[in-house]
Amino acid sequence: MLGLGPEETAVVRRRLVLLDGRPTELADSYYPREIARNTRLAEARKIPGGALTMLAELGYRPHSAEERVTARPSTKPEQDALDIQPEDWVMVLTRVLRTDTGTPIEATVMTMVADGRELRYKMIINEET
């Protein structure tokens, strides 16, 4: 998703999202090592203002996003992390953020408990950015 060559690596930030104290989502965000190296993106702590703010500060302003949503049976590690049963399914949202030149700067995989989940989008199109 990041278009990395065979010798290139990525930095991953892994998060467990809770709602009312219950796990609801696993979120893994990947950044090209060349972008994340020696920044807060490569540290295991919160980023003030979030990762998108940090990327913009580094000169990598997100311009477009491409998303894909799928549903599938959960895996054993997902069942353990999300406290769900073997017969439960998950929804997986995959997102790639790109700069205005098309350079991929972030790839995120969000694995969500599918029970009663609804995805809703609102998009604002701004041709000036």
For residue 40, being part of any structural domain is answered with: yes
- CA–CA distance, 7 with 10 (Å, rounded to integer): 10
70: in domain = yes
Residues with Cβ within 8 Å of 44's Cβ and at least 6 positions away in sequence, in order, are: 13
- What pLDDT score does 121 carry? 73
| Residue 18 located in a structural domain | yes
Amino acid at residue number 83: D
- φ, ψ dihedrals at 36, nearest 5°: -85, -20
CA dist., res. 110 & res. 103, Å (int): 21
- Full pLDDT tens readout for the chain, 129 residues: 999 999 999 999 999 999 899 999 999 999 999 999 999 999 988 999 999 999 999 999 999 999 999 999 999 999 999 999 999 999 999 999 999 999 999 999 999 998 777 777 776 655 554
User: Which pLDDT does position 129 carry in this prediction?
Assistant: 46
Q: How far apart are CA 99 and CA 118, in angstroms?
A: 28
Q: Name the residue range of residue 102's domain.
A: 10-113
105 located within any domain = yes
Report if residue 120 sits inside a domain: no
CATH of the domain at 55: 3.40.1410.10
User: How many domains is the chain built from?
Assistant: 1
Give domain status of residue 123, yes or no: no
Residue 36 lies in a domain: yes
